[in-house]
Chains A and B, each alone.
Chain A
C-alpha cells in the first residue's frame, strides 16, 4: 500500500526533483591549510567538512604490518539540526557512522602501500538534512585526493528509497530528510563506481526482495553520477591549484 505521497501525480518529489535526480552538489577541495587534505561538500542542505591527516606513523598498539590503519571520526555539530542538541563525540550513532565510514574508505585506499602507518579522517557535519553518511563519504574521498593518498578508485555513496506513483513502485534517488522521515525504507550504498564494486550497503528497514534490485540499481546509478561530479571538481581544483603552485614554487 502506498505510504505518504512522496511522488506527485506529475512525477515530482516534494522538493521538485524527479525520482532519478540528485540534490544539488557543490564541493571544494583544500579548504584548510593545517591538515594534509581537506574538502567541503554540500548535498542539498546537508553540509559536511572532511579533513585528512597522514599517512603518519601509527601508534604501537594499532600499527599493522599488513597496511595502513584508517582511523575515522564522525561528528555532528551542535547546530547541525533544527533542534539544537549537544552532541558529544563518540555517542553510539557517531561511532557506528565512524565504523561505516572506515569500511567504505578502507575499500578505496591502497592500504598495502603504507604498512605500520595511519591515516586520520575527521568528518564534521555542519548541517544535516538527510543523507549525512553519503555526504561524509563523498567529502572524505575528496579530502583523501586532496591529501594525495593513492586510491584504487573514487568511492562514492548515495541513498535511494521507494515511493509509489499511482501504485507503481518507483525508486527515489538521494533521499532528503523529509523523505527519510516519511517512514519509507532507505538503502544506502557506498561503491567504487569505476570498478562496480560495493564497499558498503545498508538498509534502514525491511524491503521486499521484489524491489531490492531496482532500488539498488538506482542507488548505484546515483553513485556513478556523483563520481562524475567529484571528478570534475577534482580536475578543476587541480587545474587552478597547479597554476597557483607554479607561481609560488618557481
Chain B
C-alpha cells in the first residue's frame, strides 16, 4: 500500500487560512469489477460488469463499458434511472462530486448502483495506485477531476487489454460520456473514445421514450443573447453581498393567486418581502432559497389583491406587460418592503405532476406543461409522444431556466395515467404530498415472518398469558388494522377508601416483535412514518401481512400484544399501573355500533357485555375528570363517503355517527398514552419520544373573538379551562350547529401538536393544551404510526422485556426522527384532505345542490363559507359595486343585508370543470337573496322546502384532537 498526503487550504470560521494535510492511501487491492478481467482477484459476487456488454447504440457497434462524467450524472439522472443503459462505471471522483453538489441525486444514484441488475460498478479510482492523480499547482479542482476521470478511463482500457492474453473474445472498449467539449478534445488526444450524452442516447435503439428524458443543456448565465431576464449573481457575489448586508437570504414563496407575485421571508424584516413581476421574481420557483435586494423605499408596493393566471396559450419567449400589477398605494401602512431576486442560493426543485397544454401545431415536439400546484410556473418540455401524453397526467423534472426562455426547461419523467382516472389522480395526490407509496421492496418483504406464522412456544413462555381473559376490540366498521383491544373485570378486594376495584387492560398490537430495529423493514416504516388514509385507498406503513393480519388483533385468534393494565376504583382513580408483553386471544372484534348495542341490550349478561358496561361507565368518569381539568372538546368538519362498490366512485356522503363507545375506547387510549408517557419520560429523560401541544398565542384568537362577540358571546381564552367553560356556554338553542362551528373555528386558531424528544424541552413545555395533561405520547397505534413503534421499544427496554439499542438512545437521531415524523404526519393530513376534495369533485360531477351554509370568515371581496353537510369550504365572491366591506367590524354590507361571520346562508353548489387541472366547486349565494347577486332558480321555492336542513345531519362528530383527521377516530390525540 502506498502512502501520500493531500494538502489543501481552507478558511476557518474566523477567517483564518488553514493548511490542512490529510493522509491518502493508495491501494493495489481494488477490483475493476469486470468479468473479462483475470488480473484482479475477484470473488464471484464482486463481478458487476458483463464480459460481453451488448451495444445498444448505433454509433458504436462494438462491445463497450461507459464511463460517465459528473455533469452527466447530475443532469441526466432520469435517463440513468431508466432500465436501458447497463455496464456503466461510476468513478469515485464522480460519486463524491455528485454527493457534494446534490444529495437527492446522490441518493438516486446510490439506488441505481445498489441494483444488481443494472450493472453499475462503482470504482474507487481515488484510492487506486494507478488511477490517482495529484492536483497540479494552479490547476482548478474541476480540471483535476476531469483529468482523474480521463486517467481512470484510459487505465480501464489498458487494464482490460492486459487480460486479453488468455481471453479469446473481444475486449470491451471504454467510452467516456461527457458534455464538456474541452474534456472531449483532450480525451480524444489521449486516445479515449468519447461522445456526448445526447448523441449517444439519440442513437440508442429499442428504448423509444429515452430521448424525452434527456435533460436540456445548460446555457451559462453569462450568455446574454435574447435575454429576457436579468442575470443572476455568482455565488461569491451573493456571499459577499449577504455578508456586507446589501443582500438578504430568504425562501421564495410564490403566490397561489397571482403568478407574477411572490414573497420571501427574511429574518431581519417583520413583514415578508414582496417580489413582483418577471424581473422581480427573476426565475425563482416556489421553495427556492434566493438572494434578495431590497428596492428603495419609494418603490415599495402593497401586495396586489387581484387574481392573475398565466395565459392559456403559448406566447413564445416574450414577456407581457406587467402594468396590471402597479396597484395604487392608498395608505402608508399597507406598503410592504419590496425587493427583487438577484440570485439563487439553492434550488429546491422536485418532480412536478401536471398535464400537457395542447399544442397549436400538431406534431410539434416542444410543449408546455402545466403543473398541478398553482405556485409552480409552466414548464417547457420536449417530447415526441405528445399525442399519447396529452390525455395523461405526467411527471416532469425541471432542468434549468436560462435567461432567454420565458419558461423553465424540463423533461418528461413518466406518465401517471389518464386524466380523470381515479388511480392517476390518487397518484398525483400522493406525489404532490411527498407520500412514499412505492410497493415494499424485496429487502423489506424479506424481513417478514412467513404467512403461516405461529407464535413460538418459547415466546409465549416469556410473556404473560392472557388468552383466558375476555378481551374485545371496538373499531369503526371495515377496519382491518386493529391495533388495540380492551378488557375489564371486577377484582375481589376493595380499595383503601372502601370502593369497588376493577382491573382494566389495554392491549396494543406488538408490532415491535416483528419490526426489529435497523432492519430494512424498520427503515422503510421510519421513512413512511404513518399510514396514509385516502378516501378509497390506504397506504400502509408496514406491509399488509403485518398490518391486517399478524399484528391486527382479530377476534378469536392468538396475537402478541403489549399490555398496559391498571387497577382502578369505581370512581376511575388509577390505583396501580403495570406494563408487560402478553399473548391474547380477542373474544370479539366489534364495531362501535355492535358494542353500543351490547351495552344497551339489558337482556345480554354475558362476559363481553358486562365488561363493556364496566368500561363504559369508567370511561364516562375519566372523561368528566379530563374535562374538569380543562380539556377542550374541539371539532373539525368531517365526512365519510359512501363508495360505490364497483366503480369506487363516491355516491353519497354521511356524517360520521358518534356513539358512547367511540369515546369509551378513546378514553382508555388516552389513559394508556399518558401512563406510558410518564413511564418513558422518567426512564429516559433525554430521548423519550413525547407529544406536546403548545398553548396558542393570545393574539391568534383576535379575529375569532371579535366574530363571536358579534353573535353575542364573550369567550374567555386565557386558559384552556376557562375557554372550555365559555365554549360550553356559547349555545344558541335553535342553531345546534353553532356551537360545533365555534369549536371548529377555535381549532383553527391553535397550533399543531408535535412530537419531540424529551431532552429538547423543559418539563413545562411538555404540556398538552388540547388534552390538558402535563405529559403525553403516542403508544396505542403502532401499526399505523411509527412514533408508537419507538415508544413501544422504549417501554419494552424500560421494563426489561427487550434490549435497548444504540440508535434508540441517541438524542441526535431522536431529533431527526421527530422532524421526519412531524413532516410526514402533516403531509399525510394534507393528502387526506386533498383526497376528500377530489372525491367531492367526483360527487358533484353533473350535480347541483342547494345547501345551507355558514360563514367562516368575511374577506374584502368574498365570504369564506362552510357547508356542514359535506364539510366543504369555499369562497362566495361578492361584487364590490354592491357590497361595502367594513374593515373594523369584518362585515359586508349591501343595503339592509349585513353579512357577518357565523351567519347562516343558503348556497348553490356546482362543479366548474372548464379547467381540467383545477376543477373547482362554485358557490353561489341563494339566501339572503340580493338582486343581481344571488342565484335564482325557477323552482327555487320548491327546492327550498326539500332542502330543509336536517338538523341531525349537522351534528358533526366532535373530536378533541387538533392533531388531524384519520379514519380511525378514537386514538386521535
Q: Which residues of A contact B (CB under 8 A)?
A: 1, 8-10, 12, 15-17, 23-24, 44-45, 82-83, 129, 167, 169, 176, 178, 207-208, 210-211
Contact = CB atoms under 8 A, between A and B. Distances in A.
A176 B110 contact: no
Interface in B13-29: 16, 18-27
B309 interface: no
A23 B124 contact: no
B213 interface: no
A1 B813 contact: yes
A82 B18 contact: yes
B23 A176 contact: yes
Nearest to A178: B22
A16 B124 CA distance: 9
Given A1-B817, A24-B1, A83-B16, 15 more contacts: A1-B807, A1-B812, A1-B816, A10-B30, A15-B23, A16-B24, A24-B3, A24-B25, A45-B22, A129-B23, A178-B22, A208-B805, A210-B803, A210-B806, A211-B806
Contact of A208 (B25, B127, B809): B809
A11 B23 CA distance: 17
B762 to A, nearest CB: 22
Contacts of B12: 83
A82 B816 contact: no
A10 B23 contact: no
Contact of B124 (A10, A15, A176, A211): A10
B510 interface: no
Contacts of A12: 124, 127
22 contacts: A1-B810, A1-B812, A1-B816, A1-B817, A8-B92, A12-B124, A16-B124, A17-B25, A23-B23, A24-B25, A44-B23, A45-B5, A45-B21, A82-B18, A82-B20, A83-B16, A129-B21, A208-B806, A208-B809, A210-B803, A210-B805, A210-B806
A10 B804 CA distance: 29
Contacts of B804: 208
A44 B5 CA distance: 10
A207 B806 CA distance: 8
Interface of B: 1, 3, 5, 12, 16, 18-27, 30, 92, 110, 113-114, 122, 124, 126-127, 518, 523, 803-807, 809-810, 812-813, 816-817
A72 B110 CA distance: 50
A17 B809 CA distance: 30
A9 B113 contact: yes
Given A9-B110, A82-B19, A15 B816 contact: no
Contacts of A16: 24-27, 124, 126-127
The listed residue with most A CB atoms (<10 A of its CB), out of B3, B804, B817, is B3
A167 B3 contact: no
Contacts of B810: 1
Contacts of A45: 5, 21-23
Contacts of A10: 30, 92, 122, 124
Nearest to A168: B518
A10 B48 CA distance: 13
Nearest to A127: B21
A82 B18 CA distance: 6
List 7 tightest A-B contacts by C-beta distance, closest first: A208-B806, A1-B813, A16-B25, A16-B127, A15-B23, A82-B18, A44-B23
Nearest to B518: A167
B22 A15 contact: yes
A169 B806 CA distance: 10
A44 B122 CA distance: 27
A1 B1 CA distance: 32
Contacts of A8: 92, 124
Contacts of B809: 208
A179 to B, nearest CB: 11
Nearest to B809: A208
Contacts, number: 62
Contacts of A169: 806
Contacts of B16: 83
Contacts of B5: 45
A87 B523 CA distance: 47
Contacts of B124: 8, 10, 12, 16
A16 B126 CA distance: 8
Given A8-B124, A208-B809, A15 B18 contact: no
B117 to A, nearest CB: 17
A43 to B, nearest CB: 10
A15 B806 contact: no
B126 to A, nearest CB: 7
A45 B810 CA distance: 32
Contacts of B110: 9
A234 B609 CA distance: 85
A199 to B, nearest CB: 27
A86 to B, nearest CB: 15
A170 to B, nearest CB: 13
Contacts of B122: 9-10
A14 B817 CA distance: 27
Contact of B24 (A9, A15, A129, A207): A15
A129 B813 CA distance: 28
A219 B809 CA distance: 24
A83 B817 CA distance: 36
B323 to A, nearest CB: 53
Given A1-B813, A83-B16, A208-B809, A15 B25 contact: yes
A176 B817 CA distance: 29
Contacts of A210: 803, 805-806
Contacts of B813: 1
A83 B25 contact: no
Nearest to B815: A1
A119 B360 CA distance: 94
Contact of B523 (A15, A82, A129, A167): A167
B526 to A, nearest CB: 9
A178 B27 CA distance: 20
A171 to B, nearest CB: 13
A211 B805 CA distance: 9
Nearest to A17: B25
B93 to A, nearest CB: 13
Contacts of A17: 25
A185 to B, nearest CB: 10
B18 to A, nearest CB: 5
B40 to A, nearest CB: 14
A9 B805 CA distance: 23
A206 to B, nearest CB: 8
A176 B12 CA distance: 20
A182 to B, nearest CB: 12
Contacts of A24: 1, 3, 23, 25
Nearest to A81: B18
A45 B127 CA distance: 18
A145 B496 CA distance: 76
Contacts of B114: 9
Nearest to B20: A82
Contacts of B22: 15, 45, 178
A173 B454 CA distance: 43
Contacts of A83: 12, 16, 18
A55 B421 CA distance: 90
A23 B114 CA distance: 30
Nearest to A24: B3
Contacts of A82: 18-20
A176 B113 CA distance: 29
A12 B23 CA distance: 14
Nearest to B99: A5
A167 B447 CA distance: 15
Contacts of B817: 1
A169 B27 CA distance: 24
Contacts of B30: 10
Nearest to A10: B124
Contacts of B807: 1
A209 to B, nearest CB: 9
B721 to A, nearest CB: 40
A44 B4 CA distance: 10
Contacts of B127: 12, 16
